């Protein structure tokens, strides 16, 4: 390309001029992309007229081909350094713009989409058994072992959510009525209304990492952060030390407000809300009658907080990192958002078993119709065919510290700006996390 620079310079000379010793054209012929640099050729953005009309007096033209250095983000070494800094195992290459979701789906084995009733009901058995075991542990454990019992029971309760999650995506049974019943019942101990969540969760899949339209979490808007000191303080605490329980706020804001749903959805939404309120009206008094207020705290509230810990952690880890952008709808690319914008994270194996592999999340975003028990086979296929584009991590302190202290306010150029860079005097919770959280990866 650069070797043709000399030929192209004839276009700027007079019709009878030829290059002579006084016309100096410099071009390097090494491969790559080049810029043209000409001395006294451009003045205030307009081509000088000496190249438009023949002149008797010759001018010296110097053309220098300058290679464009690849963006650091495009180099494997830079991505490796970034991965280590953020607590990732791998940060994937950017997915080319011409790749479509269907191209990725077409590489997956057909068997990963097959529903197996035995495996589906086995997951129900695992969740019911592990949750019952957790309640037994709570009833028998001395006070100093209660946190361990609550951690186990809250994790087992998360398995109920994953079962309902499969039902909502038509990945549990070929019978839609069975899915609606099982999904509703699985969500009841979590007092989560099944149909409202299903409608909003479908939008999350359709608009993953799209600013405003994604119904899961997204960056804080700067206008929102600057709107009032009280709100700024609440946001700083919520997106900082309380972020592992922010799903509670999301649960309240998104699933009980009838104004957030279309008229065609309202009937099913109201049925789900009635089921949740019935569980509260009947279940809570029974628990209190049998065990007292402290029994309600021990047997229901603390495991419920444990469930929301995993709900929050899974949600933020799956889609939040300094290098993963949220985009406006006119810039959004579905394949990039689902493959490049979703993170696979390995957790302790007991967590993955009780939570039915929901952390194997990239294939779930490529196609939500893949049952949870087939996610590992689907991920293995993605690694074989699209491995260099995947973001992968093992759950660790550095990963969590990066999310809690860096991924805050939306910025189009940097993706995120931390709270303590915008308002350092009012960001003590973030400063505390930077100092207190370990940096182990």
DSSP for 277-332, please give it. Answer: HHHHHHHHHHHHHHHHHHHHIIIIIHHHHHHHHHHHHHHHHHH--TTSPPB-TTT-
Q: Let me know the angle formed at the C-alpha of 295 by 292 and 300, rounded to the nearest 5 degrees.
A: 130
Residue with tokens 């899949």: 205
Q: Tell me the pTM.
A: 0.82
Q: Which two tokens stand for residue 198?
A: 């299903």
The pLDDT of residue 71 is: 55
**Residues across the chain:** 441
The helix/strand/coil state of 74 is helix
pLDDT one digit per residue (tens) for the chain, 441 residues? 434 333 333 333 443 444 444 343 333 333 333 333 333 333 333 333 333 334 444 455 454 444 444 555 568 999 999 999 999 999 999 999 999 999 999 999 999 999 999 999 999 999 999 999 999 999 999 999 999 999 999 999 999 999 999 999 999 999 999 999 999 999 999 999 999 999 999 999 999 999 989 998 889 999 999 999 999 999 999 999 999 999 999 999 999 999 999 999 999 999 999 999 999 999 999 999 999 999 999 999 999 999 999 999 999 999 999 999 999 999 999 999 999 999 999 999 999 999 999 999 999 999 999 999 999 999 999 999 999 999 999 999 999 999 999 999 999 999 999 999 999 999 999 999 999 999 998
In sequence order, the 6+-apart residues with CB closer than 8 A to the CB of 390 are 90, 92, 339, 344, 362, 382, 383
Strand partners, 64: 37
The helix/strand/coil state of 214 is coil
The pLDDT of residue 218 is: 86
Cβ atoms of 53 and 44 within 8 Å: the answer is no
Q: Supply φ then ψ for residue 439, to 5 degrees.
A: -115, 30
Q: Which of 106, 119, 153, 162 is nearest to 360 (CA)?
A: 162
Q: Supply φ then ψ for residue 122, to 5 degrees.
A: -65, -40
Cβ atoms of 51 and 20 within 8 Å: the answer is no
Q: Measured between alpha carbons, how far is residue 175 from residues 153, 166, 172, 346, 369 in Å? A: 30, 13, 9, 32, 14
Alpha-carbon distance of 422 to 409, in angstroms, equals 9
In sequence order, the 6+-apart residues with CB closer than 8 A to the CB of 142 are none
Q: Supply φ then ψ for residue 283, to 5 degrees.
A: -70, -45
The helix/strand/coil state of 423 is coil
Residue with tokens 């969540």: 197
């Amino acid at each position: 390309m650069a070797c043709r620079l000399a030929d192209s310079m004839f276009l700027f000379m007079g019709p009878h001029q030829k290059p002579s010793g006084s016309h100096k054209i410099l071009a390097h012929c090494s491969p790559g992309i080049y810029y043209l640099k000409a001395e006294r050729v451009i003045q205030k953005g307009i081509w000088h007229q000496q190249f438009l009309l023949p002149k008797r007096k010759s001018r010296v033209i110097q053309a220098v081909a300058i290679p464009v250095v690849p963006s650091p983000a495009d180099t494997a070494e830079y991505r490796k350094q970034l991965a280590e800094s953020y607590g990732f195992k791998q940060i994937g290459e950017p997915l080319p713009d011409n790749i479509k979701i269907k191209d990725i789906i077409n590489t997956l084995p057909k068997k990963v989409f097959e529903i197996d009733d035995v495996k589906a009901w086995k997951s129900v058995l695992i969740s019911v058994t592990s949750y019952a075991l957790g309640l037994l542990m709570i009833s028998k454990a001395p006070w100093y072992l209660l946190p361990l019992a609550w951690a186990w029971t809250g994790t087992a309760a998360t398995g109920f959510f994953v079962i309902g999650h499969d039902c909502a995506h038509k990945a549990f049974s070929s019978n839609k009525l069975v899915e609606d019943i099982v999904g509703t019942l699985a969500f009841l101990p979590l007092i989560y209304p099944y149909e409202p969540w299903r409608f909003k969760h479908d939008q999350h899949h359709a608009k993953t990492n799209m600013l405003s339209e994604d119904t899961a979490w997204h960056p804080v808007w700067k206008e929102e952060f600057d709107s009032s000191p009280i709100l700024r303080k609440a946001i700083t605490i919520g997106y900082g030390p309380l972020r592992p329980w922010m799903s509670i706020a999301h649960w309240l804001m998104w699933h009980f407000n009838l104004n957030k749903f279309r008229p065609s959805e309202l009937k099913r939404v109201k049925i789900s809300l009635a089921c949740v309120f019935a569980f509260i009206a009947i279940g809570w008094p029974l628990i209190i009658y049998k065990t007292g207020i402290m029994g309600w705290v021990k047997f229901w509230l603390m495991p419920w907080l444990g469930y929301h810990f995993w709900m929050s952690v899974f949600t933020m880890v799956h889609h939040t990192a300094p290098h993963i952008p949220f985009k406006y709808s006119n810039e959004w690319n579905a394949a990039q958002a689902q493959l490049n914008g979703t993170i696979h994270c390995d957790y302790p194996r007991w967590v993955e078993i009780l939570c039915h592999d929901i952390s194997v999340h990239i294939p779930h975003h490529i196609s939500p119709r893949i049952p949870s028990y087939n996610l590992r086979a689907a991920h293995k296929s993605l690694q074989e065919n699209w491995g260099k584009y995947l973001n992968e991590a093992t759950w660790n302190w550095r990963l969590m510290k990066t999310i809690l202290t860096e991924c805050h306010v939306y910025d189009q150029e940097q993706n995120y700006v931390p709270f303590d860079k915008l308002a350092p005097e009012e960001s003590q919770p973030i400063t505390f996390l930077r100092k207190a959280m370990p940096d182990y990866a």
